[in-house]
Chain A
């Protein structure tokens, strides 16, 4: 069984966007200790610096920005047209696991931003929205591929 024609290009584009934003966040993490980012005012509830320098900006000692980059690169590999055409159901299973794991992590980060930190990082939110879009497309389109022999 094949998925609809639009699925591969859309998920590839979303993954590429996630790679772009998380690359920026990772570079900013390692080059600017203040955590100040472009187009992120730093006042009120929109404060990238407060988020990217918070205790929640690392998970098991690894910067969340780097984890986001690794995740988006992985999703890009799993969402390329060739991966959507793969005969092995393990590729499709890995894509679903990646999408579900990604959105699970996004929910934790959203909780951390809004409840623990009390501030939103615009760039992080962009990756969260992309992760949600990827999750929706992947869980709606991949399951039939998992049942194929």
Chain B
């Protein structure tokens, strides 16, 4: 038998079988209760269901053909959500989140509180500059230099005592709260202020500050030639024990250090407002660490200003701090 003949015989057999099945199904429907509906069903062709047939096979197939697209769509949607979260997060620099009153608390820690806090037995991480170091001045006033970055956690830590101390010699405007870099940076999101866009006015000193990067590591301001020269000359292994690390602080031609002066653990799990509030309590750990470091910075600046202003520099705790400062 030829292939064509074989195929047509098989087709005829299949058609006959289908006919027999339809007849059997129709007979079965007629025997069931509600024969009227059954006869209506014969008028409009319905899929024939036989014992053993899988129910609703067509819709299941349709559903299964949709599933891969639903899975792919789900994955694309999740990716989109993550990307949106990331973009939103990028815009959030945490700047200015603190209560405005908290900045005021930081810049006006009462002298009595700082007196009560006292100073640690000796200053931490402070290096005297050689006696022959040339005066570091601008406009005839001694300079306090700060080189740091918003992402840098130890800069965040060090700005607290710096602002407390500098506020005793002059006035800050435009200070804003922020946090250091998010994870995986060390001490992530440490609350602090930024010197970016702030100004400082004092009759006694010049505060020269530069933040070189934002909290996400993007470049901010370039150091001036003056700042760059001091940074390159004095932030070296032989002076600070560091080779260009930040924060770098220089108190005129007297002292310099790279890093922070107290244990940052004290700031852990606290927000800006909590730290600022704790500064007003001389018994708090925060106040002891930040206030103690601030008293040492105050004592160093007093050496530059020849003890001015007198009410600040002649206080017992500042005298005690000056006596404990290292000499070259």
Contacts and interface: CB of A to CB of B under 8 A. Distances in A.
A100 B70 CA distance: 13
Interface residues of A, dominant DSSP: helix
B12 interface: no
Contacts of A140: 68, 72
A117 interface: yes
A111 B78 CA distance: 9
A44 B86 CA distance: 14
Contact of B217 (A43, A117, A132): A43
Contacts of B71: 100, 135, 139
Interface in B233-264: none
A114 B216 contact: no
Contact of B72 (A53, A136, A143): A136
A105 B136 CA distance: 56
Interface in B300-316: none
A107 B71 CA distance: 13
Interface in B47-103: 64-65, 67-68, 71-72, 75, 78-79, 82-83, 85-86, 89-90
B82 A115 contact: yes
A140 B73 CA distance: 12
Interface residues of A, number: 23
B75 A54 contact: no
Contact of B184 (A43, A54, A107, A135): A54
A8 to B, nearest CB: 18
Contacts, number: 53
Contacts of B183: 54-55, 116-118
Contacts of A65: none
A50 B89 CA distance: 17
A107 B79 contact: yes
B2 interface: no
Contacts of A135: 71-72, 75
B182 interface: yes
Interface in A103-123: 103, 107, 110-111, 114-118
B85 A115 contact: yes
A55 B184 CA distance: 8
Contacts of B182: 118
A36 to B, nearest CB: 15
Interface of A: 43-45, 50, 53-55, 100, 103, 107, 110-111, 114-118, 132, 135-136, 139-140, 143
- Give 10 closest A-B pairs by Cβ, nearest first: A114-B86, A139-B68, A54-B184, A140-B68, A118-B182, A107-B78, A111-B82, A139-B71, A110-B82, A103-B75
